[in-house]
Amino acid sequence: MSSQHHLFIVDDEEGILELLSRRFTDWGYRVTPMPGAEQALNILKDVRPDLILADYWMPSMNGIELFKQTQTVCPDAVRLLMTAYGNLNVATAAINEARVYKFIPKPWDDRDLLLTVQRALEHRDLIVESRAFADTLELMVDENVQEIERLRTALRTVAEKVRSHLS
Q: Is residue 144 situated within a structural domain?
A: no
Coil/strand/helix, residue 10: strand
pLDDT band of residue 1 (cuts 50, 70, 90) is very low
Q: Is residue 105 situated within a structural domain?
A: yes
Tell me which residue range forms the domain holding 63: 6-129
Q: Which H or E run includes 126?
A: helix 110-166
Q: How many domains does the chain have?
A: 1
The strands making up 100-105's β-sheet, listed across from edge to edge, are 30-34, 6-10, 51-55, 78-83, 100-105
Q: Is residue 150 situated within a structural domain?
A: no
pLDDT tens-digit profile of 4-34?
A: 899 999 999 999 999 999 999 999 999 999 9
Q: Is residue 106 situated within a structural domain?
A: yes
Q: Does the pLDDT value for residue 159 go beyond 90?
A: no
Q: What is the pTM assigned to this prediction? A: 0.77
The mean per-residue pLDDT over the stretch 51-67 comes to 93
- CATH value at residue 47: 3.40.50.2300
pLDDT band of residue 143 (cuts 50, 70, 90) is confident
If one counts every other C-beta atom within 10 angstroms of the C-beta of residue 77, the result is: 23
Q: Is residue 19 situated within a structural domain?
A: yes
pLDDT tens-digit profile of 75-130?
A: 999 999 998 876 666 777 777 778 889 888 888 999 999 999 999 999 999 988 88
